[in-house]
Structure 1
Amino acid sequence: MSELRKDLNMKTVKRKTLSNQVIEQIIDLLMSGQLKAGDKLPSEMKLMDMLNVSRPVLREALISLETLGVVHRKTREGTFFTDRVGSEPYRIMLAISIGDMESIIETRLSQELGLVALAAEKISELDLKRLEENITAMEKAEGDYTEIDREFHRIIAFSGSNPITEGIIDPLLNMYDKTLENIPLKNRDKEKTVQQHREIYEALKNRDPLAAHASMHKHLVYVRERLSY
C-alpha cells in the first residue's frame, strides 16, 4: 500500500452540487493515476482543506462512494479505495453519475429488461417462491416498502446465475436508492406496484420472456413517471 503523497492535485469545488463535485474529484484521483486501487485517501481534514468543503459535504460524498463499493472505511485507519475498484469501471461510472436520476433510470431500463427476459428462461422454482413471498410481504407492509421493492428486482437479476450481471445490478440499485433519497415521489401507489410485480412474476412463472420483458417495461416506465427530477 503506497504512502500518502503531499503532491496530489485536486481542485476546490463550488457550492453547486458540492457532494457530487467532491465525488468527481475523489474519483479523479483514481482515474488520473495519482492513487490506485487499495490506496488510502487523505484524511478528512486534509480533504476538507484541499476541496474547501465542510465535513457534512465530504461525509455525504464518502458515504455515497462507500455505498457503491468504490471506497471502504476502516475504524481508526482511514478511508481506502477498494482493492478491486480499478477493475470495476461500472461502479466508477455510477459514482460519477450520482444524482442524475434520468440517466440512472434509463440504465435500469436497459439492464433490467434484458435481465428479466433472461430470468424467464433460467429462474428456479426456489426463486419463484421467493418472488411470491416478496409480493406478499409488500402487500402486508405498512409504511416504507423500499427494501422489499429493491429485493424483488435483486431476486430477478440474480436468478440468471451470471456473475457479470450480478456485479452490475447491486451497485445500480444502490445508486438508485441513494439518489431517490433526495427526489420526491409523486402519487406513490403500493397497490399498483404490487399489481405490476405480480404481472412480472406471472410472466416468469410461465417462462415467457416476451411477457416478462413487456411487464418489466411497463413497471419501470411507471417508476420513471413518478419521479420528479
Structure 2
Amino acid sequence: MTNKEMMMDMKSLSRKSLSKQVIDEIINLLVTEKLKPGDKIPTELELMEICNVSRPVIREALTSLEVLGIVNRGTRNGTFFSDKIGSQPFAMMLALSAGDVRSIIEIRIALELGLVTLAAEKITEQELEKLWGTIEEMKSLPTDDSSKVDKQFHKIIAHSAQNPLFEGIIDPLQNFHDKVLDEIPLEDRELEKTVKYHIDIYHALKKRDPIEAYTSMYRHLDFVRNKALKNIE
C-alpha cells in the first residue's frame, strides 16, 4: 500500500469516527429529553457549529440516521426526529452502534439464521413463488448491483416466519446493512455467486428442510460479511 493510499484510509477512518460522534450527539438530544419524537433537529449549519465538524460529516451522520428511520429528511422545513421512534427501540440501538460495523453484520447473521429455519416450517407456496421471482429478476440485472432485489428476497423470508416482532427488528437492520453493502465495489459483488446462494436457500425452503436452509443462509451471509469487511476495515 502506498503512502497516499494509507493517508486516504486514515482520512476515511477519521471521518467515520466523527460521523459516529455526531450520531451520538443527535441521539443524546432524545435521551436527555431536550427534544422528543417529531421535533425538528438543529440545521446542518447549527450541527456543524455544535459538533465542530464539516458538512460532509454531518450529512453522513444524518444519512445513517435516516436509513435507520430515526430522522425524516427531504423537506424544505428541515430534518425531524421520526414520531415513531418510541416503537423502534432496536433502530435506536443500531444508531448508537453505527460505528461497529462488524457487530451489526453479526447481529444480522444471527437473526436471519433463526428466521430462515422458521421460514422452512411456515413459508407458503405463494411466498415461494415470490422468492423465485426475485431470483429470476436478479439473473436479468444489467449490472452486479443486486442490493434492492437481495433485500426483497430476505424480506420475503422474514415475513414468511410469521412473527411481527422479527419484522420490526429486521427492517432497520437491513436498511443499515444496505448502507454497508454500498461500500462494496460493483466489481467485487460477484452476482453469479449471490444468485447461486439464493437458489440454494430457495430449494432448502421448498423442501421444508430447516437444517439445509440454515446452512445455505450461513454460506450466503458469510460471503457477504467477508466482502463487506474487506472494504471497510
Same fold (TM > 0.5): yes
**Structure 1 residues 216 and 50: CA distance shift in structure 2, 3 A:** same
Which residue does 2:131 correspond to in 1? Answer: 131
1:177 aligns with 2:175: no
Aligned pairs for 1:7-18 (under 5 A) are 17-18=17-18
Letter in 2 for 1:39: D
Which residue does 2:9 correspond to in 1? Answer: none
Aligned pairs for 1:32-111 (under 5 A) are 32-73=32-73, 75-111=75-111
- CA distance in 1 between counterparts of 2:227 and 2:47 reads 37
Structure 1 residue 115, shift from structure 2 partner: 0.5
- CA distance in 1 between counterparts of 2:44 and 2:224 reads 37
Which residue does 1:219 correspond to in 2? Answer: 220
Percent identical pairs in the alignment equals: 55
**20-29 or 75-84, which deviates more:** 75-84
**Structure 1 residues 193 and 16: CA distance shift in structure 2, 3 A:** closer
| Runs of 4+ more than 4 Å apart | 183-187
Structure 1 residue 84, shift from structure 2 partner: 2.1
1:86-108 residue CA offsets vs partner (Å, 9 max, x unmatched): 33221011112224321121011
- CA distance in 2 between counterparts of 1:202 and 1:225 reads 24
Structure 1 residue 218, shift from structure 2 partner: 1.6
Which residue does 1:198 correspond to in 2? Answer: 199
TM-score normalized by the length of structure 2? 0.85
Aligned pairs for 1:138-177 (under 5 A) are 138-143=138-143, 144-177=145-178
For this pair of structures, how many residues does the alignment match?
A: 216
Given that 1:185 and 1:226 are in contact with CA atoms closer than 8 Å, whether structure 2 keeps it comes out as no
SS at match of 1:200: helix
Structure 1 residue 112, shift from structure 2 partner: 0.1
- CA distance in 1 between counterparts of 2:16 and 2:106 reads 24
Structure 1 residue 56, shift from structure 2 partner: 2.4
SS at match of 1:226: helix
1:3-28 residue CA offsets vs partner (Å, 9 max, x unmatched): xxxxxxxxxxx866222211111011
Given that 2:67 and 2:175 are in contact with CA atoms closer than 8 Å, whether structure 1 keeps it comes out as yes
1:47-68 residue CA offsets vs partner (Å, 9 max, x unmatched): 2211112222212211221111
**Structure 1 residues 156 and 16: CA distance shift in structure 2, 3 A:** closer
**Structure 1: any 5+ residue segments left out of the alignment?**
1-13
Given that 1:68 and 1:95 are in contact with CA atoms closer than 8 Å, whether structure 2 keeps it comes out as yes
Given that 2:184 and 2:227 are in contact with CA atoms closer than 8 Å, whether structure 1 keeps it comes out as no
Which residue does 1:118 correspond to in 2? Answer: 118
**Structure 1 residues 22 and 133: CA distance shift in structure 2, 3 A:** same
Given that 2:15 and 2:57 are in contact with CA atoms closer than 8 Å, whether structure 1 keeps it comes out as no
**Structure 2: any 5+ residue segments left out of the alignment?**
1-13
Letter in 1 for 2:214: H
- CA distance in 2 between counterparts of 1:23 and 1:214 reads 36
**147-156 or 176-185, which deviates more:** 176-185
- CA distance in 2 between counterparts of 1:53 and 1:113 reads 39
**Structure 1 residues 190 and 43: CA distance shift in structure 2, 3 A:** closer
**196-205 or 137-146, which deviates more:** 137-146
Which residue does 2:11 correspond to in 1? Answer: none
- CA distance in 1 between counterparts of 2:152 and 2:210 reads 20
